[in-house]
Amino acid sequence: MFNAQIDSGFITVTGEDRLDFVHGLVSADVRGLAEGSGTGALLLNHRGHALAQLTVVRLPGLLLLAVEDAMTDFVFSELDRHIIFDQVTLERPQAEWTQLTVQGPAQDIAADLDRLRAADSFAAAVVARRSLSGGH
């Protein structure tokens, strides 16, 4: 069953250093992400304190960061201020992206994801064994 669309802003990170750059700023293993997969992460400050929650998705040639919409400008500026010698480019994509949750029994979720893939309207999935939206 399709659940609510999440109000998200998006940031793309391109360039040859994109994996190392983002990996060094978030709580997740970005280097280990397979293409077409994603993970939840926290943007961290220099002391390891969480600044923002985001989803990192590895796509061909880029990382797509989905951020709670109200935090997108903040996350963009935090990432931008850390670019020194890194070969990365940050952009706010013009393309239409949507983040949504699909929750329910595993077989139903698999069928929903298969329908999205067949419609060629699917970038990646982050799979969790529990509700990420606070439901049961």
**What pLDDT, in 10s, does the model give residues 27-54?**
999 999 999 888 889 999 999 999 999 9
Q: What pLDDT shows up at residue 93?
A: 83
Amino acid at 45: N
DSSP strands (E only) in 22-128:
38-44, 50-59, 62-68, 89-91, 99-102
H or E element: which one contains 11? strand 8-14
Q: Which of 54, 87, 85, 47 is nearest to 69 (CA)?
A: 54
Q: What pLDDT shows up at residue 136?
A: 45
pLDDT reading at 24 higher than 90: yes
Distant-in-sequence, close-in-space partners of 119: CB < 8 Å, separation ≥ 6: none
Partner residues linked to 91 by β-bridges: 12
